[in-house]
Structure 1
Amino acid sequence: MSAPRPGPPPGPQPRQWSGDGTGDAGHPAVDAAVRAVAYAATLAPAEQIAQYEAAYQTLRETLATIDQA
């Protein structure tokens, strides 16, 4: 059974940074993980764990696909 995927938090989305000044948000899965971590900070500590674990798993899978490219 796979971990739940982080989803966008409710409310305004955090400003995205691409590093190159173009405004490109980057990789969708990484962006979702970053939003999930930002959202987790607003949750009760017991609820944060699932968000952090899902974000971590998403980042691991995304980095693994980059390594294979």
Structure 2
Amino acid sequence: MSAPRPGPGPRPGPPPQRWTGDGDEAPGHPAVEAAVQAIANAATLAPADQIAEYEAAYQTLRETLATIDQA
């Protein structure tokens, strides 16, 4: 009797959907909006290329949050 073979692993889900709200909210911060869009766009890239996009978005979000904390 042989050991069970592992399956192909988890499958990625669909790309994230952009939340648009109901129109009553104020527009978001431009840098945050750009970072979120970059993350959504990265879903179409090869995994090796996604890493750089995620790191750039993370850095943008960190810098933006730091400026908000200083305000």
TM-score, normalised via structure 1 length:
0.68
Q: What's the C-alpha RMSD, in Å, of the aligned pairs?
A: 2.1
Unaligned runs of 5+ in 2: 1-16
Q: Which has the higher contact order (CA 8 A, sep 6+)?
A: 1
Gapped runs of 5+ residues in structure 1? 1-13
- Is 1:60 the equivalent of 2:62? yes
5 Å matches for 1:1-69?
15-17=18-20, 21-22=23-24, 24-69=26-71
| TM-score, with structure 2 as normaliser | 0.66
Q: Runs (4+) of structure 1 moved beyond 2 Å?
A: 14-18, 20-25
- Give 2:38's aligned amino acid: A
**Residue-pair matches, total:** 55
